[in-house]
């Protein structure tokens, strides 16, 4: 027992989870370390943020999912140091030795050097982020209702979404539907339908990772929903009361950040080459230069293919995690590690109800068919039978009624509207 | 329009909500003010706290529930002042005049003059409380797993529940099931089943508001589940590392507070007689002395009946709210307000799976029949079709598998285990 090799996996996202599962029959002791007690189905985080789903519907406790894997220990904790020379990882002040290491710590959002924007621009990478974003969005409508000054009310009804990737597009489309449909008839001093939803993308088109025809489709679909799409415009300032795009100032109380990712700082501990987003440049087998026993997978890995780099998608992370597990099993058996080959399984984005963009190799789908495809794929890949059923119920009820079933403000974070005084100087008569 | 009477209702709990609904056809403008954007089905809060249900399953957005009531405005805000002489309420710095006022602001928990215990003893009155308690409970098992020192581990595996009313009994029974069943096989360095669950009640028996035979039944049922019940013992100190009961010190990292309620401080603004829990002594029609236009209902009201006072139950709060609405409609029509008559609809408490205590007039039920009764009643009274369905699914899945479907730690509050360092001085080898 004491001589079994020790494998540490940092991160219980798609890459880490698929690696751990692939090691279930390996003759090794595996330690999975994660900062949170649950795996999150990230593709649906925006639905928690927009009050369509409850947080537990897209999360599963890691311990529970992996309880039958007898060679595995799960540890909740923060990794603060990786010492590749001494072959150990420090988590919560405690050193953990390893023979093999997989770092799958993912990415967080970056504000392009403007960390002071964080307070006023919610990101969306964790469930806490999603609940914070939900509180901001719901509070903005409450504050618009309570606002005395028309300009103030308009600022509470202006939502700026920064970043035109799938998350930005999905947030913008959903917000437009919430404003036009979900909240209809619920307010007395303003019309939620008058809300302005702005999607700002610095590049020339939304969904930049998709083919151009799908970008054009998504842009049109967003405009039909009432979203104003700005492409080729960069946000140059974010403050509590609005954003600047070059010289133009937009009064907006709610800024949702779906731009720029920055790799986990753990990548910098490795002493190897990183790209400008902090992602670790790995070798063909996903190990790092000089340390064949250390692997990096998922969004944290910069993997070159013939034509570019492997994208930061759930399907890519799963493939990398599974590949590392296969390589480790081969190594433990005395074999060698094959190179990683990325299989492009396509990408999807929804744009509100009954509209989506799907790109699968040469196949492109739009409209209702794409939307059904998106829905089926997400239900299929969602982990846990109960979650699938509850998500289906929420979606079915939402589809017929436009209701959003998680419209509760809990634990609003500092910086969300909820911690600022509700009203201004003078007094309205609410009746 | 301008001359329609103005009615303000403070609080969207059972009393406030039933009053507002009862006023839907009243020739008056109604303003409902609540600190949160949702009504909470309080009888199931303990299920959110013990990770059995997602928060949105037991909450409904007030605006949405009441959107068709055209004479109603909903305002999210904190009431800081009630001026009964000037007939106005101050919320978020803004004065709101009224002709009639209903205060249904409820109660919070009290630490019997030891507010310093709040940090280490979670209460359970709001969804934020429930999510905080959930984080504490789940973190305690995580910390026990990571603990190096056996005494430290034992302290993380010791749970003290203070207060033997329905909430305390329900928390203790559920925690025992979580430790013995839900978490089985998920940890490597300790057995969750070794957790000690202590229920401490200062009075002579648990469920003191029930008849004695049901108290005895509940005590036996708890002991069968592995809960240690201490009656006639008062907690004399709470600290981060344990509690004292008189001279006895118990090392326990998790203290759940289900004792003592303290009425909302708003009751003190009225200049009328309050009882020692801060509840407002009302007249027979639920109005207050000297102000026939001001009513108090729900847990905040001290209502004398022939034999005692009306208990702080959801059914009593609904009756009071509905009564105030009827009285106001009568007054608006030039009539007089009848006295409130409390109709005892009984009380219920569950003690884990397939065991409950039900008291309905002369009828007492225990065991499986009582549990089915409890389950049916709660599903029936839960608001919203979608919530009923999702709660049923969660309960059915939990019943067959012992799983708890909301086992995620989100936004742990300061003072919960989640914000303290995970491990001690020396280093374990987790593998």
Give the C-alpha separation, B250 to A265, whole Å. Answer: 42
B128/A411 CB distance under 8 A: yes
Asked whether residue A25 carries a pLDDT value surpassing 50, the answer given is: yes
B427/A95 CB distance under 8 A: yes
Q: What is the pLDDT of residues A382-396, one digit of tens each?
A: 877 677 777 777 777
Give the C-alpha separation, B334 to B292, whole Å. Answer: 14
User: CA angle at residue A155 from A149 to A157, to 5 degrees?
Assistant: 105
* A88 at interface of B, judged by CB pairs closer than 8 A: no
How confident is the model at residue A426, as a pLDDT? 33
How confident is the model at residue A2, as a pLDDT? 54
Residue of B7, B32, B76 best to disrupt the A interface, most CBs of A under 10 A? B76
Max Cα distance, chain A (Å): 78
Asked whether residue A157 carries a pLDDT value surpassing 70, the answer given is: yes
How confident is the model at residue B419, as a pLDDT? 47
Q: Percent of chain A at pLDDT above 70?
A: 94
Give the C-alpha separation, B352 to A81, whole Å. Answer: 43
Out of B145, B152, B170, B201, pick the active-site residue: B170
* A54 at interface of B, judged by CB pairs closer than 8 A: yes
Closest CA to A301 of A45, A13, A6: A13
φ and ψ of A349, to 5 deg: -150, 140
For B431, the closest of A6, A59, A428 (CB atoms) is: A6
Over range A287-309, report the average pLDDT.
94
How confident is the model at residue A421, as a pLDDT? 42
Closest CA to A96 of A179, A176, A6, A182: A6
Taking 70 as the pLDDT cut, the residues of chain B under it are 1-2, 385, 411-431
Give Cα A159 distance to the centre of its chain: 19
How confident is the model at residue B2, as a pLDDT? 54
Scan for tokens 């970043």, then name that residue: A163
Q: What is the pLDDT of residues B371-413, one digit of tens each?
A: 999 988 888 888 776 777 777 777 777 777 777 778 888 766 5
- Which of A221-225, A376-380, B202-206 comes out lowest in average pLDDT? A376-380
B93/A36 CB distance under 8 A: no
* A423 at interface of B, judged by CB pairs closer than 8 A: yes
Say which DSSP state A274 is in: B
Q: Percent of chain A at pLDDT above 90?
A: 76
Over range A296-320, report the average pLDDT.
93
**Smallest Cα distance from A415 to chain B, Å:** 14
How confident is the model at residue A379, as a pLDDT? 87
Confidence grade of residue A353 (pLDDT, cut at 50, 70, 90): confident
Residues of B in contact with A139 (CB under 8 A): 76
In contact, B126 and B40? CB cutoff 8 Å? yes
Torsion over CA: B173, B178, B182, B187 (sign):
negative
Q: What is the pLDDT of residues A39-98, one digit of tens each?
A: 999 999 999 999 999 999 999 999 999 999 999 999 999 999 999 999 999 999 999 999
For B93, the closest of A59, A139, A421 (CB atoms) is: A421
How confident is the model at residue A410, as a pLDDT? 77
Mean pLDDT, chain A, as a whole number?
90
Scan for tokens 């599962």, then name that residue: A21
- CB count, 10 Å around CB of A122? 24
Please name the residues in contact with A198: beta carbons below 8 A apart, sequence gap of 6 or more: A158, A159, A160, A161, A227, A228, A229, A230, A250, A252
Torsion over CA: B409, B411, B417, B418 (sign):
positive
B403/A386 CB distance under 8 A: yes
Examine the residue annotation and report whether B170 is marked as an active-site residue of this protein.
yes
Asked whether residue A418 carries a pLDDT value surpassing 50, the answer given is: no
A64/B394 CB distance under 8 A: no
- CB count, 10 Å around CB of B274? 16
Closest CA to A40 of A128, A169, A122, A118: A128
């Amino acid at each position: 027992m004491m001589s079994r090799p020790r494998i540490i996996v940092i991160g219980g996202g798609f890459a880490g989870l698929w690696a751990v599962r692939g090691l279930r029959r390996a003759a090794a002791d595996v330690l999975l370390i994660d900062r949170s007690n649950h795996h999150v189905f990230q593709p649906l985080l925006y639905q928690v943020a927009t009050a369509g789903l409850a947080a537990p519907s897209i999360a599963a406790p890691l311990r529970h999912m992996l309880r039958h894997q007898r060679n595995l220990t799960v540890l909740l904790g923060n990794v603060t140091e990786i010492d590749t020379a001494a072959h150990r990882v420090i988590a919560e002040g405690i050193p953990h030795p390893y023979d093999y290491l997989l770092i799958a710590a993912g990415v967080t959002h970056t504000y392009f050097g403007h960390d002071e924007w964080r307070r006023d621009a919610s990101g969306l990478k964790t469930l806490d982020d999603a609940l914070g974003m939900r509180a901001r969005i719901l509070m903005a409508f409450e504050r618009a209702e309570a606002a005395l000054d028309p300009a103030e009310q308009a600022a509470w009804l202006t939502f700026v979404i920064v970043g035109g990737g799938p998350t930005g597009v999905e947030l913008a489309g959903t917000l437009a539907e919430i404003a036009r449909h979900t909240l209809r008839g619920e307010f007395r001093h303003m019309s939620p339908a008058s809300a302005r939803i702005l999607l700002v993308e610095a590049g020339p088109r939304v969904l930049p990772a998709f083919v151009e025809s799908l970008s054009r489709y998504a842009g049109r679909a967003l405009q039909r929903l009432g979203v104003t799409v700005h492409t080729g415009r960069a946000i140059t300032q974010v403050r509590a009361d609005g954003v600047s795009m070059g010289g133009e100032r937009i009064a907006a109380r709610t800024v949702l950040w779906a731009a720029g990712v920055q790799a986990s700082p753990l990548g910098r501990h490795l002493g190897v080459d990183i790209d400008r987003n902090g992602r670790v440049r790995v070798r063909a087998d996903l190990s790092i230069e000089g340390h064949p026993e250390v692997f990096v997978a998922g969004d944290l890995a910069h993997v070159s293919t013939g034509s570019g780099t492997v994208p930061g998608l759930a399907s890519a992370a799963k493939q990398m995690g599974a590949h590392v597990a296969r390589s480790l099993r081969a190594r433990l058996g005395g074999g060698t590690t094959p190179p990683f080959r990325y299989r492009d399984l396509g990408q999807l984005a929804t744009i509100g109800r009954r509209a989506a963009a799907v790109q699968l190799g040469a196949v492109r789908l739009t409209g209702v068919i794409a939307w059904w495809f998106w829905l089926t794929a997400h239900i299929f890949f969602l982990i846990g039978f109960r979650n699938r059923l509850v998500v289906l119920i929420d979606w079915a009820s939402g589809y017929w009624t436009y209701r959003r079933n998680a419209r509760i403000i809990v634990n609003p974070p500092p910086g969300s509207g909820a911690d600022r005084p509700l009203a201004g100087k003078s007094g309205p008569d609410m009746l």
